Homo-oligomer: A and B are copies of this chain.
């Protein structure tokens, strides 16, 4: 039985906790957090505590807190020679306290507390300093997900950057679409079937092949009509730049 202490009570901690509970060979023996209120949902299923009560006999400590807090939290644990990992896509493992065995356990997903999620499909990217620690992380990750990937620090950074384009920026484009609709009091839900189909298509074809629209076919009439509707401002700038980027991408077809 691999004994795990989970540090943090946010969305990532919650989904890892839910996933770990369903496994056979792994046990979350404790969840650590600052606030009793935030610990309450965890306390129904395991032992909980603050930073003065950290169990010292676990095989693995997973720090699932915001990027800024990782370094401080890892020091508050006051552990020596233990395997400690964080779950961030962008923080180097050297941010973890000195004198511990450092690693990373990065789930490539966007977590919301209220949405149930199938961790088995979520890519888990792992790093460790020592081969034995990497083997343990591989085992833990493999119990949670079918997509375990050993990565280098450079690969993890690149994955995180790609995730910003595929999640943060796509979501913001949907926000801009929402703003466009609001101008005529049209409801956002009209776009939901299109948004779903846009993402589902990518399971079968590359985004290069899936690209459609006035920019790809260089439909100048529609492009200038859209610019007129957008007038000036940042939405118009986004339209201009993404149109240019699509045209560069598909330049050879035009």
Binding site for B on A (CB under 8 A): 67-68, 90, 108-110, 112, 114-115, 117, 121-123, 147, 149, 154-155, 157-178, 180-181, 183-184, 186, 188, 190-208, 210-216, 219, 221-222, 225-226, 229-230, 234-235, 237-239, 241-242, 244-246, 248-249
B68, B147, B212, B237: which contacts A168 (Cβ < 8 A)? Answer: B212
* A164 and B226 contacting across the interface, CB-CB below 8 Å: yes
B157, B163, B173, B208: which contacts A191 (Cβ < 8 A)? Answer: B163
* B202 and A172 contacting across the interface, CB-CB below 8 Å: no
Interface of A is mostly: helix
* A162 and B191 contacting across the interface, CB-CB below 8 Å: yes
How far apart sit A177 and B109, CA to CA, in the bound complex (Å)? 14
* B174 and A207 contacting across the interface, CB-CB below 8 Å: yes
Known: A162-B181, A180-B161. A168 touches B213 (CB 8 A): yes
From A108, A181, A242, residue with most partner B Cβ within 10 Å: A242
Least CB distance from A10 to B in Å reads 12
* B180 and A162 contacting across the interface, CB-CB below 8 Å: yes
